[in-house]
Amino acid sequence: MTAPTRTATARERARAELTREIKEEARRQLVAAGADGLSLRAVARELGMVSSALYRYYPSRDDLLTALIIDAYDAIGEVTERAIAAAPAGRPRERWAAACHAIRDWARAHPHEYALIYGSPVPGYQAPQATIAPAARVPVALVGVLAQAAADGALAPASPSAPPLDGALAAQAAALTDLLGLTALPPDALVGGVIAWTQLFGLLSFELFGQLVGSFEPADALFACAVERMADLAGLPG
């Protein structure tokens, strides 16, 4: 910060690398014991350091946990954004489906990181402000697909038989479209997208947390079917 143009010293490079390695080892340990079981001493042991040395890199266990949480949100957010960008712009339904499948693929490949961010909150851990923006990437990307479709005139209008939005809900939706600058997106379409978003993660959590064992496992077919129904629900034309 004090001299941003200067090339990094050996010490600075070593510090950056170890900071990353600690995080990676911690991520590996999530698999074995979950967020609650993440132990600074175990991380240090695995890295061949003494546990107190970690305090040069992370001021406390919670800060390390926060770094993992932010990374996980960023990873799933990036995967989502990429999937959307890779699908044809003029076909919002395909973009939607691509995003959903990319999210599922990431979640199945990283179930413990998924549980870290979408599972039960870690008791005693208070998520700091810094997690909010990364956490928003997925839903923002998803409703972005709807907003683009709306701007292109490719979004199905609200069913005339559907009742108008409840007042409180309309206000929340309007506040959110304002905040995100999605002026083209009607409030009821946003609500449809948000409900589809909760649907997506509900199914994913059930799959990963074992609620479908013995009924719809493997869940590939159920997921594919749900993605289509979600697209309908969100107003994306077939």
Partner DNA sequence: TGTACATCAGTGAACGCGCGTTCACTGATGTAC
Query: Can you give the binding site for a second copy, defined by CB under 8 A?
Result: 32-37, 115-116, 118-124, 127, 132, 135, 161, 163, 165-169, 172, 176, 191-192, 194-195, 198-203, 205-206, 209-211, 214-216, 220-222, 224-226, 228-229, 233, 238
- Report if residue 61 touches DNA, rule: CB under 7 A: yes
Of the pair 50, 224, the CB lying nearest a second copy is at 224
- Report if residue 23 touches DNA, rule: CB under 7 A: no
What size, in residues, is the chain?
Answer: 238
Of the pair 15, 232, the CB lying nearest a second copy is at 232
Find, among 135, 134, 154, 136, the residue nearest to 88 by Cα: 154
22 burial via Cβ count (<10 Å: 0-12, 13-18, 19+): buried
The torsion angles phi and psi of 122, rounded to 5 degrees, stand at -70, 125
Residue 192 touches which of a second copy, DNA, none (CB < 5 to 8 A by kind)? a second copy
Q: With contacts defined by CB under 7 A, name the span among 44-52, 125-133, 152-160, 226-234 that binds DNA.
A: 44-52
Of the pair 34, 75, the CB lying nearest a second copy is at 34
Residue 36 touches which of a second copy, DNA, none (CB < 5 to 8 A by kind)? a second copy
Distances (CA, A) of 38 to 3, 30, 47, 60, 68: 36, 6, 14, 12, 11
- Report if residue 50 touches DNA, rule: CB under 7 A: yes
Q: CB of residue 149 vs a second copy: minimum separation in angstroms?
A: 19
Q: Which of 53, 158, 169, 170 binds DNA (CB under 7 A)?
A: 53
CA distance 150 to 185: 6
CA distance 88 to 86: 7
**Who contacts 168 (Cβ-Cβ below 8 Å, separation ≥6)?**
none
- Report if residue 62 touches DNA, rule: CB under 7 A: yes
